[in-house]
Structure 1
Amino acid sequence: MLPVRTSGAGSPALVMMHFLGGSAREWDEVSAILCTRFQCIAVDLPGFGAAAGIPGYSVEHMADAVADVLGHLRLERYILIGHSMSGKVAAVLARRLADHALHADHQLKGLDALVLVAPSPPSPEPIAGEKRAAMIENLGEVRGDHADEYRRAQTYVTKNETRDIPPEVLARATEEVLRMNRAAWVAWLEHGSREDWSERIGVLDIRTLIIAGEKDTSLGVEIQQRQVVPHFSNARLITVPGSGHLIPMEKPEELAATIKEFSESL
């Protein structure tokens, strides 16, 4: 069973998944705000965080693992929140629920809505070949002392765009990158991000909020409009001003307020 971090109480529960190289801890600041109103459940995906030793790195295997957690939790109502890499996983789980809608005991029962934060699209993620190769080269395996590893991990978190991340949050995120299983990192870049689920996911009518960062150079507004929005007939796309790709750590107050408003409107 995947490890989870749980806080608060209230319905619907908010089930949160993380970005590539991240962990459940990327949601700490958002959860601290939302747990006064909702039950917040942050999940470590296979190969990351406290689940670094758990195998199964394909999109399907990650979806299987999260479905097992949801089946175990038996939540009456919940919203599935996927950030970046896990946005694709969230879409796959929503399609599974739609395909099993008539089965009352199905493990995904209770899913009310999706919140997709700068999500990887159902189609192959548009990563340039040279960028993909550089990411694999930089963090695909341990190849230096701790200081060198730390520098490369922190560079991945900050990247080459403006990101206003508090120093303590940046340090935590960097340590979480170093904590991951490097095989999971390589698997996503070489395979998971290239998986094409667009036909299988099709068009879903589940209520969906898609959130993009104004300054996101990885999976910004244009990619969301072109590759994500067409798969959700009941979706709304909004932009977080001043934010890059790591919205939960860059703009936790704004993101929490947006999720709260959306959740209470269901």
Structure 2
Amino acid sequence: MGSSAEEFALLRSELAGTLDLVGIDLPGFGRSPASGGTTVEEMAVLVERAIGASGATEWAIVGHSMGGKVATVVADRTVSGANGLFGLRAVVLLAASPLAPEPMDEGRRASMLAWAADGPIEPHHAAEFVDANTAGVLPPDRHEQAVQDVQRADPRAWRDWLLRGSREDWSTTADPNPVPTLVLAGAEDGDLAADAQRRLTMPHWPAAELHEVADAAHLLPWERPQEVAALVRDFWTRRIAHGPVVPADQARVIASPRVSARTRGVLAVRALSDDPDATPDALTWQQLDVLRAVARIVVPQPGEGEVDVALRVDRQLAAGQGDGWRPDGMPTDVDAYRGALDVLGAVSADDLAAALEDVAAGRYRSDGPLDAEQLRVWFEDASVDLVKQWLAHPATMSEIDYDGFANGGDGVRKQGFQLLGAGQREAWEPEGAGR
């Protein structure tokens, strides 16, 4: 509220080479007219249209304060497939307004409403707003730009946020969002400091991490652009950049009307990068490390970006998402995995491939909880699980030139496929890997 895309100018410079920052003025602020709509949903739609118009197929969304609530709604609608976008890889929330009503002192709300009651905000009130939301006095050039942004805010948009948008409650219908998320809070922020973010924002983001920015209050992009950029760069490099990227032409097909919202949402979640430091849910750390070693043999992934298929199988086991049956005499899936991985944990890395050959042939002997035949059956099922998790990733689908998911969207008429012969390709189909 009271800011514009200009507040990201310093961050844009700092993050050059890591992310290409594109600022979006929300309705009533900066150069965007309030006629675009000032409810949270109307602002979200404006942002979604801007993302779609950009043609970006690999993107993150950064939201500051009021924009944090809008960014969260956009991200939620992206992972559900509802808004027709694809390619979201990360979310960054700076002193974000939560999905629930924003905590705000009512006396301060009344004062800010009074500033815009009879027309544009006066310069001294704009300066008061900026100074109240910073830990120290901004450098003159930044202070001047921040004050000018407040002054040019549309009074209607200013009042609408204070009276309605900040009070909108989206938390009651929002499911937890699995997108990797960085939440930053100023140490001296009055209403939206780390404690408030921990209580109101973090529960919505199971894959989030929270950092407190010292010597900063609410206007983080103006106050600490270098520190914020360093945290964003580290987060992107450590959590996001290592994962496989869905090629642009495949991403555009997934975002097209040929793909249903439900399918698009499923693929959006599958495309998210795996956290290399994530705690396993069903296995121990040692068992997960062994499964990762097994996965490198069963599903070698040359080139840049790997799907952590072992971690995804761990999540599958924890959720009980097996195939619904098991051979007579075998323990439950999770117990079979634990027992087999404990046995293989005693094998050196150099000998693991040969040991798996013996396991597959039913001749591996051990003193563990599974006999040779049980180990053979487990390895057969584990190989299927690992390959399935690899094939399910939309980047892999592109690699193997598969686009069968694009057989019709949510419209009344399903487009389907017209060209079914070998080597034939529809005009809309991506070229794929050609192998």
TM-score by structure 2 length? 0.53
Q: 2:86 aligns with which of 91, 109, 112?
A: 109
Return the match for 1:235 from 204, 208, 220.
208
Amino acid at match of 1:193: S
Q: Determine if contact 2:120/2:152 at 8 Å carries over to the other structure.
A: no
Residue 117 of structure 1 aligns with an amino acid whose one-letter code is L
Q: Give secondary structure in 2 for the equivalent of 1:49.
A: coil
Tell me whether 1:99 sits opposite 2:99 in the alignment. no
Distance apart, 1:143 and its partner CA: 6.8
User: How is 1:19-168 mapped onto 2 (pairs within 5 angstroms)?
Assistant: 20-100=1-81, 107-142=84-119, 149-159=122-132, 162-168=135-141
Alignment partners' CA distance in 1, 2:151 and 2:118: 10
Q: Which has the higher contact order (CA 8 A, sep 6+)?
A: 1
Determine which of 189, 201, 212 is the counterpart of 1:216: 189
Shift of 1:245: 0.6
AA at the equivalent of 1:119 = A
Answer yes or no: is 1:186 the counterpart of 2:152: no
Q: Which residue of 2 aligns with 1:175?
A: 148
CA distance change for structure 1 residues 143 and 254 in 2, over 3 Å: closer, same or farther? closer
User: How many pairs are equivalent?
Assistant: 239
RMSD: 1.6
Output the CA distance in 1 between the equivalents of 2:142 and 2:70.
Answer: 25
Deviation for aligned residue 1:205: 1.0
Kept in 2, the 8 Å contact 1:23–1:48? The answer is: yes
- The structure 1 segments of at least 4 consecutive aligned residues displaced by more than 6 Å after TM superposition are none
SS in 2 for 1:198: coil
Change (3 A) 1:22 1:85: same
Per-residue CA distance 1:208-249 (angstroms, 9 max, x = gap): 110011111131111101111011111100101111111110
2:279 corresponds in structure 1 to none
Query: Which runs of no fewer than 5 residues in structure 2 stay unpaired?
Result: 241-435
User: What letter is aligned with 1:189?
Assistant: L
CA deviations over 1:169-222 (Å, ceiling 9, x no partner): 010111111111110000000000000000222311111110011111131111
CA gap 1:157/1:209 in 2 versus in 1, 3 angstroms: same
Q: Which is higher, the Rg of structure 1 or of structure 2?
A: 2
TM-score by structure 1 length? Answer: 0.86
- Contact 1:139–1:152 (CA under 8 A) maintained in structure 2: no
Per-residue deviation, 1:33: 1.2
Asked whether the 8 Å contact 2:101–2:167 carries over to 1, the reply is yes
Corresponding residue SS for 2:60: strand
1:54-88 CA-to-partner distances (Å, cap 9, x unmatched) read 43000000000000011111212111000000111
Which blocks of at least 5 consecutive residues in structure 1 are unaligned?
1-19
Q: Which residue of 2 aligns with 1:257?
A: 230
Higher strand share: 1
Give the fraction of aligned pairs with identical amino acids, expressed as a percent: 36
